Amino acid sequence: MTLGKIALISGASRGIGAATAQTLFEAGWAVSLGMRAPVMPDWAQTYPERVHLFVYDAADVEAPCLWARTVMARFGAIDAVIASAGIMIPQTPVDISNDDMAKMLDINVQAPRRLAAACWAALGASGHGRIILLGSLSGKRVKSARAGSYAVSKFAAIGLAHALRHAGFDQGIRCTAVCPGFVATDMAMSITDRDAQMMTQPEDLARVIQMLIELPNEASVAEFTVNCQLEESF
Ligand SMILES: NC(=O)c1ccc[n+]([C@@H]2O[C@H](COP(=O)([O-])OP(=O)(O)OC[C@H]3O[C@@H](n4cnc5c(N)ncnc54)[C@H](OP(=O)(O)O)[C@@H]3O)[C@@H](O)[C@H]2O)c1
């Protein structure tokens, strides 16, 4: 059991973020859950003192600094940031509107950058700060035109993860881009009619994320790909 470690998790209301929050909580972490409409999860009832809710809209540029300050005041440290809030607008780069492209880049790239920056000093002070950015296999290859605009944002998110890894390495901060294929959440369900049981389960991805953030500084993982189907390289 990991005692005394504190993680901030964006997109904690649903999907991968919610599964990660529960997994880390059950492993002994204190978790601060960023949600647009915060609700205390059922699983938190056992140790409510280890769960903190924060109203987080990823589009709000002021929110990350307030979130980091609030968590420091409540727990006194930040050891990990899991940036899971994300959106997928299924449009080709030719058809997508300028506003929708800007929105996807803001939520999928700028928002995790702002969150990491706001938590930077605390992550450095931890000596073993961890950042997980939810990239995607769509940030490694483009499989369809319709997923193309999303892929642009995820290629950028993975680039951001590598840039943060360089920026924080000397301070013990380790950043990993976690790159799944289809995960059985609302997002995947909205774009494919494949059977949810044939997709990666969010709980399994959460176990991967727990493992990544608990590895020592000397076992740094820059990218971690996870797939539910056979592809040539991933
Ligand atoms: N599912 C997949 O197949 C898959 C594959 C590869 C990568 N990913 C990535 O994994 C991450 C999590 O995806 P998911 O599958 O868990 O998606 P999901 O089930 O659709 O959940 C998306 C989460 O992001 C939050 N969110 C969206 N816009 C937000 C905003 N403006 N401010 C705050 N929170 C916001 C949602 O909050 P609300 O409840 O308030 O809407 C929700 O908690 C995303 O970055 C996604 O791109 C997913």
Ligand 1 site-directed mutation target among 32, 142, 187, most atoms within 8 Å of CB: 187
Q: Where are the domains of the chain?
A: 6-226
pTM above 0.85, yes or no: yes
What are the CB-based long-range contacts (under 8 Å, 24+) for 149-153?
149/89, 149/90, 149/91, 149/92, 149/93, 149/96, 149/100, 149/101, 149/104, 150/88, 150/89, 150/90, 150/104, 150/108, 152/93, 152/101, 152/105, 153/104, 153/105, 153/108, 153/109
Q: Is 187 in the pocket of ligand 1 (CB under 6 A)?
A: yes
Query: What CA–CA distance (Å, rounded) separates 193 from 196?
Result: 8
**CATH T-level topology, domain 6-226:** Rossmann fold (3.40.50)
Does 33 contact ligand 1 (Cβ within 6 A)?
no
Give the CA dihedral 26, 31, 35, 41, nearest 10 degrees. Answer: 40
Residue bearing the CA closest to ligand 1, atom 44: 86
Q: Long-range contact list for 51-55, CB < 8 A, 24+ apart?
A: 51/25
d(CA 215, CA 89): 34
Q: What is the pLDDT along the chain (234 residues), one digit of tens a residue?
A: 445 799 999 999 999 999 999 999 999 999 999 999 999 999 999 999 999 999 999 999 999 999 999 999 999 999 999 999 999 999 999 999 999 999 999 999 999 999 999 999 999 999 999 999 999 999 999 999 999 999 999 999 999 999 999 999 999 999 999 999 999 999 999 999 999 999 999 999 999 999 999 999 999 999 999 999 999 899
The answer to whether 150 is a known catalytic residue is yes
Q: Report in angstroms the alpha-carbon separations of 68 from 65, 108, 128, 201.
A: 5, 19, 17, 29
CB 199 within 8 A of CB 228: yes
DSSP for 123-154, please give it. Answer: HHHHSS-EEEEE--GGGT----STTHHHHHHH
Note the pLDDT of residue 1.
Answer: 42
Torsion 29-171-123-200 (CA) sign? negative
Q: In sequence order, which ranges of the chain are alpha helices (DSSP H)?
A: 15-26, 63-75, 98-105, 111-126, 148-168, 186-189, 202-214
Give the pLDDT of residue 4: 78
> How many angstroms is it from 190 CA to the middle of ligand 1?
12
